[in-house]
Structure 1
Amino acid sequence: MTVMIDGKKTASQIQSELVNKAQALKKAGLTPCLAVVLVGDDPASQVYVRNKHRAAQKIGIKTKDIHLPKETSQAELLKLITELNSDPTVHAILVQMPLPAQIDAEAMINTIAPEKDADGLNPTNIGHLFMDDPRALACTPRGIMTLLEKYQIEVAGKEVVIIGRSNLVGRPLAALMLNADATVTIAHSKTKDLKKIARQADILVVATGRAEMITKDHIKEGAVVIDVGINRLADGRLVGDVAQGDLDGYVSYLTPVPGGVGPMTIAMLMQQTLELAEKSR
């Protein structure tokens, strides 16, 4: 039988544990605060921001929710981030992406102070990660590593193939896997003979953003499959980047969509906010 990796349950357990940590910080005179900036009215982004706000409320993390109009200029956003960097009551900053076309996401990420980088995407933090000196971490990769640890899935010495090389998932996850002593291959849109590469994996992580792109033909029997994608089909169904229909009993572990990796991203954001608040002392 394939073991389904329950990210929703694991995230809930982690968030319950974080309540005590938040209370301890408050007793010490420190109220952890996450600033969440939303530019524009993208419906999906609004849902994500609401989910983060609710999770923070449950744990006891204060949120500073800032909603800017879609016409906001890059200079205005960077000025706001600079002000939040200087605000001692704010311990973590997250700018919800995607951003409107007039704003350069890279400039935004570079402006967030590394010590307040809730998403773990500032180049300083990425550099520390690749030097095996992790500070703030990208939340989705951190969530993946936490799931593997919770399910006692060994990483050291394993062949790990990551399909997708984004700055959000593929690249930082590769560094985390390397730091955990895995042998890592990153595949992408230019990779030749993707099926051959993918079938080498003991642990296959798929983050392509293309619905059900990876099929059973890409996967070695008994592999661990981590499906990062979430895509809505024309009929309204949510599916991942892996066609999961015929994998039961073929792979050893599998993250479902929804309910797999997704909930862990928010849990890691909350955990990182508390860690950044604690380090600020």
Structure 2
Amino acid sequence: MTLLISPPPALARDIDGKAISARVLDEVREEVLALAEEQIYPALAVLLVGEDPASEVYVRNKLLRAKEVGIRSLEHRLAENASQNEVLELIAQLNADASVNGILVQLPLPAHIDEQAVIHAIHPIKDVDGFHRENVGGLVQGIEVLTPCTPSGCMRLLRETCGDLSGLHAVVIGRSNIVGKPMATLLLQADCSVSVVHSRSVDAPTLCRMADIVVAAVGRPHLIDASWLKPGAVVIDVGINRIAGESGPRLVGDVDYASARTVASAITPVPGGVGPMTIAYLLKNTLIASQLQRAVQLGGPQVVSVPVSG
């Protein structure tokens, strides 16, 4: 008797954010070198209020990557008890400093400081996070502006994985101002059909099973498993959640990676997927901001159209 043993199902391939972000950084480095020949030296100012350990790590990584691509970085630290006026005064100084092209305020801020007031104090042309209301509005209107770094990085991952996105059905899980909403807008601009699933959605797994592309950004560990996915879907996991493990705390995504990869065709791991892309696009935004400011200095239009999500 011959036993017929079925081969194990193919597992999704990993979307290597580290490798793709390295290509983005190489592109930025080349453009920075080209600008240096014109005596233009892009600079990024990073403002950190307090001593949050996670923020310390994020800032250190951003400054390190900036140095690697030749972008000058300026670190400004304020005490945990610094007043909101102190933060706003520093931002005003940086706005007025023509040698500073990008301003990044590391979030979260201490509870006594109004984050929205701080974000909107940054000049839109120096807002490398892409959070200012003018940049948000421009994105929705289809004007190419400085765009939030994580969604821009996700779009690069998708384009390198899927090629032309036109006509694909994308489901974005989460509707935050930082990721979910701008992600949905960028997917619409890429001619996808887009659904946004959130906490009030009815039968979210069924909605997700219709998607060619799933972008998960809800901050709930392992929420999405294989039962949420259409066979062959491409999964972008934005979530970074710290959970207890046998050997100590570990980072996991919003997607149950082991389960999802039995159904998906490609998936971003956590860590090593979306995270590196966020920093890469922060530096790309700094480069773009310097080009925008140069155009204004030369008497060009106050609103300049630039590619930010390629």
Which of 2, 15, 40 pairs up with 2:50? 40
Partner in structure 2 of residue 151 of structure 1: 161
Partner in structure 2 of residue 239 of structure 1: 252
Partner in structure 2 of residue 102 of structure 1: 112
What SS does structure 2 have at the residue aligned with 1:143? helix
Q: Contact 2:124 / 2:132 at 8 angstroms: preserved in 1?
A: yes
Q: List runs of 5+ in structure 1 lacking aligned partners.
A: none
Match runs of 1:117-266 below 5 Å: 117-235=127-245, 236-266=249-279
Q: Which of structures 1 and 2 has the bigger CA Rg?
A: 2
Q: How far is the alpha carbon of 1:169 from its aligned partner?
A: 0.3
Q: How far is the alpha carbon of 1:206 from its aligned partner?
A: 0.3
* Partner Cα separation in structure 2 for residue 161 and residue 14 of structure 1: 25
Q: Is 1:267 matched up with 2:280?
A: yes
Deviations 1:128-177 (A, max 9, x none): 11111121000000000011112244321111110111111001111101
* Partner Cα separation in structure 2 for residue 18 and residue 226 of structure 1: 23
Residue type of the partner of 2:139?
Answer: L
Partner in structure 1 of residue 299 of structure 2: none
Residue type of the partner of 2:237?
Answer: D
* Partner Cα separation in structure 1 for residue 198 and residue 253 of structure 2: 17
Matched pairs, number: 281
Deviations 1:53-97 (A, max 9, x none): 000000000011001111111111111111111100000000000
Deviations 1:23-66 (A, max 9, x none): 11122111100000001100000000000000000000001100
Which of 47, 50, 62 pairs up with 1:52? 62
Residue type of the partner of 1:230?
Answer: I
Q: Contact 1:33 / 1:89 at 8 angstroms: preserved in 2?
A: yes
Q: Contact 2:226 / 2:261 at 8 angstroms: preserved in 1?
A: no
What SS does structure 2 have at the residue aligned with 1:97? coil
What SS does structure 1 have at the residue aligned with 2:290? helix
Partner in structure 1 of residue 300 of structure 2: none
Q: How far is the alpha carbon of 1:17 from its aligned partner?
A: 2.3
Q: Contact 2:208 / 2:229 at 8 angstroms: preserved in 1?
A: yes
* Partner Cα separation in structure 2 for residue 253 and residue 153 of structure 1: 13
Q: Contact 1:211 / 1:242 at 8 angstroms: preserved in 2?
A: yes
What SS does structure 2 have at the residue aligned with 1:280? helix
TM-score by length of 1: 0.97
What SS does structure 2 have at the residue aligned with 1:238? strand
- C-alpha spacing 1:221/1:152, structure 2 compared with 1 (3 Å): closer
Same amino acid, percent of matched pairs: 47
* Partner Cα separation in structure 2 for residue 249 and residue 199 of structure 1: 14
Deviations 1:155-204 (A, max 9, x none): 21111110111111001111101111111111111111111111111101
* Partner Cα separation in structure 1 for residue 39 and residue 291 of structure 2: 11
Q: Contact 1:25 / 1:278 at 8 angstroms: preserved in 2?
A: no
TM-score by length of 2: 0.88
What SS does structure 1 have at the residue aligned with 2:260? coil
- CA-based RMSD of the aligned residues comes to 1.0
Residue type of the partner of 2:149?
Answer: C
* Partner Cα separation in structure 1 for residue 227 and residue 215 of structure 2: 15
